[in-house]
A and B are shown apart, each in its own frame.
Chain A
């Protein structure tokens, strides 16, 4: 496993590996999204308290969950960049940022619309800890992307952005536990460990799992695709890229 992981750090190997994996991921993502959307919108029952608005859960929960998970991936890749200076780790962190920002944006918008239906006449509450910490996460992603493109020197940019990503990790437990530590309009966490099975009926839990799978597969697919773009851009003068482009043109 470690040997394979080590091999994956080599740009030409990563490119060949992703070429094989990407079509499978694309098909899997499409299937999971198709099944998840139909299941969530038409087959799953509506909630006895929240009625039809509970269907927003099938996009809001996976987007929120992965907005945090992607940040953790970005932070871990940034740590690897700083400690071992593996080039591919920096590219993985850089490629994760726009995807994470998009997922956070979806979480904020869908959460705001869902909140409007449940909390009364408001889309946003500035004093709410969950909403504000998620908004800070969105700004952290934007800040990371801005800092990453602010330097001409690629290595300096990578180091500065990696430090920002690591400092921002402190926000992840704040987002997660904000509903327990402070008073919040947002409901308490239902997706934790063994509680999960008890608090969500299988008729709603399974479509939610399918949508979580869809968001995860899409992240994997986009991560590979964006990393390949950064790799091609950075290594365009290397022999393996020339060879690959030649094969592509043939």
Chain B
């Protein structure tokens, strides 16, 4: 059925809430994963730099 953008009659809030909550949860999970790895790599690199300075 063709309908206006984001208009699903009386069920609009229920449908949009479902998609919005799903999007927020999945995007958050993805961002957390990518940032966590970036942070870990940065931490490890900093530690190695410190260690190298200590031994040289």
Contacts and interface: CB of A to CB of B under 8 A. Distances in A.
B14 A236 contact: no
Interface residues of B, number: 29
Interface string A22-53: 00000000000000010001100110000111
A218 B30 contact: yes
Interface string A149-182: 0000000000000000000000000000000000
A59 B19 contact: yes
B33 to A, nearest CB: 4
A113 B1 contact: no
Contacts of B40: 229, 232-233, 236
B46 to A, nearest CB: 10
Contacts of B47: 236
A146 interface: no
A233 B41 CA distance: 9
Contacts of B5: 42
A56 B9 contact: no
Interface string A236-250: 100001100110110
Interface string B1-44: 10101001101101101110110011001100110110011011
Contact of B41 (A37, A109, A225, A245): A245
A59 B18 contact: yes
A106 B17 CA distance: 11
Interface stretch (A72-80, A97-105, A133-141): A97-105
A209 interface: no
A246 B25 CA distance: 33
Contacts of B15: 41, 52-53, 55-56
Given A55-B15, A56-B15, A246-B45, 8 more contacts: A45-B1, A46-B1, A51-B11, A59-B22, A226-B33, A228-B37, A232-B40, A245-B45
Interface of A: 37, 41-42, 45-46, 51-53, 55-56, 59-60, 63, 98-99, 102, 105-106, 109-110, 113-114, 116-117, 218, 221-222, 225-226, 228-229, 232-233, 236, 241-242, 245-246, 248-249
Interface of B: 1, 3, 5, 8-9, 11-12, 14-15, 17-19, 21-22, 25-26, 29-30, 33-34, 36-37, 40-41, 43-45, 47-48
